[in-house]
Amino acid sequence: MVASILDYLEWSAEQYSDSEAYEDGNEIVTFREMRERAERIGTAFLRKGISHGTVLVYMKKSAAMVSAFFGITACGCSYCPVDTQMPEERLRMVFHILKPSAIVVAEALGEKIKSFEAVAPVFVYEELVQEMKDAKLLKGARRGIDTDPLYILFTSGSTGVPKGVAIPHRAAMDYVEWFTGKFGLQKGDALGNQAELYFDLSVQDVYAPVICGCKTVFLSPSLFSTPDGLMSALLEKNITAISWVPSALCLVANLDGMACHVPECLRLVTFCGEVMPCKQLNYWRSRLPHTDFVNLYGPTEATVACTYYPIVREFSDEEALPIGVPCENTKILVLNEKDEPVKGDEIGELCVLGSSLALGYYGSPEKTKEVFVQNPCNPDFPERIYRTGDLVYYGEDQNLMYVSRKDFQIKHLGYRIELGEIETAAGVQEGMKECACIYDEEKKRILLYYTGEQWDSRELKTALSKRLPQYMIPNRVCYLEEMPHNRNGKVDRKQLKDRLKERSVVRK
């Protein structure tokens, strides 16, 4: 029985031994070398008396960071990767919630974390690996079980306090087993990683190699600002599968990144984390007609994705993609305001149950109880569901259709409006690259931000009026030279709201 992710590491080290498992700009690590590193790091921690709790990982995306994950797991702890660009105030919030047993830091970043030595012992990754060069994992090390937390990922909290989502081994293994099996990943495949390792979309990039023998290549973040170079890199590294946020795919489409290099080596493209506009998807599909494209949907609390939709037909630029059907070992409930299953095409809140669910929010039982609740449709025995806060409905073919976040639904001029519907209508306009809507609560107005070709605001509003009722037309249209993105590659709506407060946007 596979009880923890370490069982897969040990299996793959025997099965694939000297095959390449992880590659970054500095090194290539084999399966055997990854196991050896994990043993060294795990032994080092055990000898220092660290065998429980959570270890914070302060490193840049790399094969070395993955070996830190495995090593921390080997000593009986869970790990928590954080953004090395995170503001110090937010980092202190994370420390306050996490109360880590230790910190692992890359040597080059040691000075940045030095002030936290009073909170938890700090260990330099390179020293840990070198110190135990010939070590084997100490006998008697606590073996994890599948309900133990594997990792903690911090997401934004609506109150401004970050939430630490605790994911158990079983949830991560179930998801990656499904992902690799469903899409036929195997030895010889190469995953091209885009997501930072503190973002849950990276989970399959981290663990797919030890589950199926494929390889993960950590693409340099700088490549994602040069689409032509990015496509060239996919060809050079013979990348066969990618799982990126839609913003990264849209960047390639908007700048015609395949004008010179078409990565025909790609056989699988999955995307998750945001709504994927069909206009940009059609750019990719037209240039890679033999590639499989799959829309994944899911919150961090449900381990990367809980539904999927293979793109099996043509979609016009104006259409919305379904988010599909549940992944294996997952069930979906769509509940109305009375906590009853919706009927027909009624809109309701998407709720998830199954082995993919997080354990809850680390150190916050109150927040956990708010969204991890008893299934209201099951009065007979305890059964947890996670309330996503996402609004969906069933389409004609019984595929789920995403509407918006509950908090993206606004009331304006007496009407309930989905900001995502306005974004979809704006996104198909000629010359439009990216767009995002926010609502100014103070002045009760809808603002549309966009990049691409600059429109006359009256002409753009007239064009939108052909697709939207008058009450949904944005009150103000704001042109931006560049759309702000967060470190995960998603549109940074908080920055847009901050721009509104500072009145520093260029308006047209």
In this structure, what CATH number is given to the domain that contains residue 344? 2.30.38.10
Are 449 and 478 found together in one domain? yes
The CA distance from 489 to 460, in Å, is 27
Boundary residue ending a domain (352, 379, 405): 405
Is 153 inside a domain boundary? no
Q: Which amino acid is at 166?
A: A
Mean pLDDT of 390-402: 94
How many folded domains does the chain comprise?
Answer: 2
pLDDT in tens, 224-242: 999 999 999 999 999 999 9
Boundary residue ending a domain (405, 433, 466): 405
Q: Which domain holds residue 477?
A: 413-502
- CA 235 from chain center: how many Å? 24
Q: 447 near 263, Cβ under 8 Å?
A: no
Are 374 and 427 found together in one domain? no
pTM, 2 dp: 0.84
Are 471 and 444 found together in one domain? yes
Whole-number average pLDDT of the chain: 91
- CA 368 from chain center: how many Å? 20
Instruction: Report CA-CA distances (Å) from 481 to 212, 221, 450, 451, 505.
Output: 43, 21, 8, 6, 10
Are 436 and 390 found together in one domain? no
Is 424 inside a domain boundary? yes
What percent of the chain has a predicted confidence (pLDDT) above 70?
94
Residue 487 confidence class, pLDDT cut points 50, 70, 90: confident
Is 376 inside a domain boundary? yes
Instruction: Name the packing angle between helices 169-182 and 203-212 (round to 10°).
Output: 70
- CA 196 from chain center: how many Å? 8
User: What is the structure's pLDDT at 504?
Assistant: 40
Boundary residue ending a domain (361, 379, 405): 405
The CA distance from 305 to 134, in Å, is 39
CATH number at residue 452: 3.30.300.30
Are 363 and 437 found together in one domain? no
Is 271 inside a domain boundary? no
Is 434 inside a domain boundary? yes
Are 385 and 445 found together in one domain? no
The CA distance from 257 to 280, in Å, is 12
- Measured in degrees and rounded to the nearest 5, phi and psi for residue 335 equal -110, 140
Mean pLDDT of 182-196: 97
Residue 441 confidence class, pLDDT cut points 50, 70, 90: confident
Which residues, 6+ apart, have CB-to-CB distance to 197 below 8 Å? 61, 65, 66, 69, 81, 206
Are 447 and 496 found together in one domain? yes
Mean pLDDT of 40-44: 90
pLDDT in tens, 95-112: 999 999 999 999 999 998
Are 425 and 482 found together in one domain? yes
Is 371 inside a domain boundary? yes
Are 450 and 496 found together in one domain? yes
Is 113 inside a domain boundary? no
- CA 229 from chain center: how many Å? 23
pLDDT in tens, 10-37: 999 999 999 999 999 999 999 999 999 9
The CA distance from 152 to 120, in Å, is 17
Is 240 inside a domain boundary? no
